[in-house]
Structure 1
């Protein structure tokens, strides 16, 4: 059940996605996975004949997603969502745990979501930066 607070959070998420200075006004898909101890967000921009994966650039976005997830009433909470921002309007689809195949990889679900909303085009990911994350010798 959506509340006024949830509606405000959904609007805020759209505003946060629209703040991308490099790609303002570009159709965007946010695929997010949220649970008690994790938040994962994947952002895709449609650019002509390809999709561009964008690392989340706004520190507020995961908190807004968590607040939206926590605003749900009862124990039956969605675990993944698609948030499509197109022409200044948004559309949201929620996925509940019983709708998700636990054997299916998250990357496959994300790619299918991108194709469903924007067509079958290649997804371009930024080059891997090995210095972006700490490495530990175990």
Structure 2
């Protein structure tokens, strides 16, 4: 895959993120863990004094993320973590690869660490649970 095609996929990702957050993507941060047959994205937006989490139901984000993941011609060079942010009208993306982070073992601390690195100690606000939902505790 050439850089122009990857750039188009990453731009499409930014457009989808803008839709999810209601139009203005400034301050958006996307953290993604991915592997064969699964993807775990989390979208956050810096709103000044707090960071808001956005629900991912009902959008085309998953397909775009798989397009980006499969874009590499060499299967051994597929990333396992992507961090994508938008600031000053431009996107910035970093990838981590399986030799850097093993996402086959679930670990919520990786996402928390990425949030702390990006936003410091700002409060993260999650939406209220939907009616009929329940929380599992260990």
Range of TM-score over shorter length? 0.7 to 0.9
* 1:1-138 pair list within 5 angstroms: 3-20=3-20, 22=22, 24-56=24-56, 59-74=59-74, 75-100=76-101, 106-129=107-130, 131=132
Aligned positions, number: 133
- Compute the TM-score of the two structures, normalised by the length of structure 1: 0.82
1:50/1:124 contact within 8 Å kept: yes
Equivalents in 1 of 2:87, 2:50: separation in Å?
16
TM-align CA RMSD: 2.5
Tell me, what secondary structure is at the counterpart of 2:129?
coil
Q: Which runs of 5+ in 1 are unaligned?
A: 134-138
Equivalents in 1 of 2:98, 2:22: separation in Å?
34
Equivalents in 1 of 2:103, 2:43: separation in Å?
22
1:44/1:52 contact within 8 Å kept: yes
Instruction: Measure how far apart 1:2 and its partner are.
Output: 5.3
1:78/1:95 contact within 8 Å kept: yes
